[in-house]
Amino acid sequence: MDQDDIRRRYEALPPLPETGWDFAWIDRVRTWEAFRDRGLDVSIGLRQLMATAPDYGEVRALAPELHDLLMEAYPLTPEIRAELDEWISEFEFLE
């Protein structure tokens, strides 16, 4: 995805919810510069949470447009998939 297109879409997002303990992922990408610089790490963290949290829909619901843009701007590559699979395998005891 083109960087200019991502920025345009980021700047067109609806206002983000106020900060709070449960908005940590939003706070990490609250500005365009933070989104650009930390977006990959935040998207990986969200994917980890998606794989393990029973209530992940509530996490996404905090800022669905921002969430979806993050996932689109920082897609799941084979390298990230391998890291996630390894990370998830450590949680097999949860099943």
Its sign, for the CA torsion 82, 58, 36, 65, is positive
Question: What's residue 64's pLDDT?
Answer: 96
The residue whose two tokens read 């940590």 is 24
Question: What parts of the chain have a pLDDT lower than 70?
Answer: 19-22, 92-95
For residue 69, give both structure tokens. 């843009």
pLDDT of residue 21: 64
pLDDT tens profile 53-68? 888 998 899 999 999 9
Nearest 5°: the CA angle 8, 42, 34 is 50
Looking at residue 88, its pLDDT comes to 80
| pLDDT given for residue 93 in this prediction | 52
